[in-house]
Structure 1
Amino acid sequence: MRKITISFGIIFLASFFFQVNAQTLPDEKLFQEAKILIFDKKWEQAQEKLEEFLEKYPDNPWFSQALFYKGKCLEEQKGKEVEALNVYKKYILLKDRNLSLTEDSEGSIIDLAFRLYEKGKKSYLREIETRLSSPHKVVRYYSAHKLSYVKDKKIASKGIPVLKEILKNEQDAELRDRAKINLLRIDPDALRDFDEKGYGRRARIFHLQIINRWKKEPEFSLNIPWALADLALSAIPEKEKAEMRKEGYDLDKIIKELIEFRGKIIEIKTEKSIIKIWID
């Protein structure tokens, strides 16, 4: 979901090669040294150089870039997620920030916040939630994508409006498919009332309920798009289907009836349960 950009590399290389051919001043020399260390992925050493640069040259035109690169160095070091996140938050508030690097910073904040959540620091999910209302759609989309992995469905569901926004407005098939998967991860019913573009009707939903015959209440319930259910049912080997027919259940016939008679409830009764299957 997160937009993959090459802005970091372009800005890095362009400024680096330009400076190589220029007269090297103390601030330029220090910044170049930091960039070489970044290029070599020597994150801790590069961080030290950048911190020295930021302290010595707060009014330098490269100050904002140096701050961004510091965030990158911290992000690449284990255990420094909080520091990195705070640096990126400072960067996006700068007046002379680069728009592409700002988008990258927002994406890194989302990643770092999620990493902290996985470490048990749930309060950092707020950093992701607030970005659901970002004016930049890439940031909104990536926030909703990340939230779909949160175990607390109440929090994860906050991304549903953005995921539906993707389905409504975007044409890219891969982007739309990922949004659907994210919605299914949060709540299969979230796709229930969604109208696919160009079809003029909502997607068909496959329902399955297993009801305890004695308690008269569902023990299990499943609601997923028919396209996914059809894919799973069609993948059942013929040998297994033959065994089911011996038990009196013709799976191919059941699927055919489900498709032809939308809304019809097919019941399969066992000694302890009633299985209900239908599509609407």
Structure 2
Amino acid sequence: MRNRNIIFLLLIIIFFSLSEIAAQSGAKEDEKLLQEAKLLIFDKNWIEAEKKLDELLERYPKSPSYSTALFYKGKCLSEQKGREREAWKAFEEFLKRPDRPSALVEEAEISSVDLAFNFLNSGDQSFIPVLESRLTNPSKIIRYYTALKMSYLQDKNLAQKAVPVLKGLIESEKDQELIDRAKIALLRISPASLKEIQEKQEGGSFRLVKIRVYEKGKKTVSVSINLPLSLADLAIQAMPEKDKAALKQKGYDLNRILNDLAKSKEKMVRIEEEGNIVEIWIE
């Protein structure tokens, strides 16, 4: 009887030992698959990397690397044309997991915003809540990124929802480069909102850039623009370099013109192009 008990105990010990070995082997295998996938991602071999990640996700659903694999699967899918929706779902699934690695959360949020933005601009209104929810995200980085991104939306009514976040950024942040980006974003969405901020910051007193355009053969003004000087400077900064270079080739250096005008309240720049006349001055 005693021998039987000893044998039974030995069998139990062997069983648990084998189980532990199997578990360790599985753990090593899932880590191996993840590392192999990362190497393939580094080489931009998205399809093969996805296969490795799918194997990990299917074979090891309780793996500590499961959430990380989901994130990288989203990355692989986002790089494959036509699979962007699958990518977005993978990122969203990753973000919902309580065991998601915090180091990857910000990148996943940004990727989700980028994909949702593209879907929206393509006409899929179902992604409106995705962007709206990011405007109230606990992370100011995600709030700011979403608001800046939304300034490029074709639907300017929807883009207006980013205005409070952009205004808050301008009024509370110290990073001048970030503030300038927010001002340019506001300029795209709501110049009036930016004008309010400028008036508040400058105590209601600021210089205006005045632009008048006369079309060929006409004596009356075709276009009349009054823009705060600080906004004009931002507008020039926001112009694509190729457009500024094209104007410079024709002899119009916008930065120099604006600087020269800013030094004198009386000077006016007159530009004639194919019979059209543009007059610019600062008051």
Length-normalised TM-score, structure 2: 0.66
The SS at the match of 1:174 is helix
**CA deviations over 1:23-43 (Å, ceiling 9, x no partner):** 883223322222221121111
**CA deviations over 1:152-193 (Å, ceiling 9, x no partner):** 221111111111111111111110111111111112111121
Q: Do the aligned residues in 1 keep the contact of 2:78 with 2:87 (CA within 8 Å)? A: yes
Alignment of 1:168 with 2:171, yes or no, is yes
Match of 1:36 among 35, 39, 55: 39
**Bigger share in helix:** 2
Q: Do the aligned residues in 1 keep the contact of 2:121 with 2:154 (CA within 8 Å)? A: no
Aligned length: 225
Report the counterpart of residue 185 of structure 2 in structure 1. 182
Alignment of 1:222 with 2:231, yes or no, is no
Does the C-alpha gap of structure 1 residues 137 and 203 become closer, same or farther in structure 2, counting only changes over 3 Å?
farther
- Once the two structures are superposed, the pairs formed by residues 6-45 of structure 1 within 5 Å of their partners are 25-45=28-48
Does the C-alpha gap of structure 1 residues 256 and 25 become closer, same or farther in structure 2, counting only changes over 3 Å?
closer
Does the C-alpha gap of structure 1 residues 205 and 187 become closer, same or farther in structure 2, counting only changes over 3 Å?
farther
- Once the two structures are superposed, the pairs formed by residues 39-118 of structure 1 within 5 Å of their partners are 39-118=42-121
Report the counterpart of residue 133 of structure 1 in structure 2. 136
The SS at the match of 2:178 is helix
In structure 1, how many angstroms separate the alpha carbons of the residues matched to 2:109 and 2:115? 10
The SS at the match of 1:25 is helix
Unaligned runs of 5+ in 1: 1-21, 211-217, 241-250, 259-274
Report the counterpart of residue 265 of structure 2 in structure 1. 256
**CA deviations over 1:192-220 (Å, ceiling 9, x no partner):** 2115897555655556689xxxxxxx975
In structure 1, how many angstroms separate the alpha carbons of the residues matched to 2:227 and 2:193? 9
In structure 2, how many angstroms separate the alpha carbons of the residues matched to 1:179 and 1:202? 22
In structure 1, how many angstroms separate the alpha carbons of the residues matched to 2:230 and 2:107? 35
| Bigger Rg, which one | 2
Q: Determine which structure has greater relative contact order: mean sequence separation of CA pairs < 8 Å that are 6+ residues apart, divided by chain length.
A: 1
**Percent of aligned pairs with the same amino acid:** 46
In structure 1, how many angstroms separate the alpha carbons of the residues matched to 2:28 and 2:149? 43
Cα RMSD over matched residues?
Answer: 3.8
The SS at the match of 2:133 is helix
Length-normalised TM-score, structure 1: 0.67
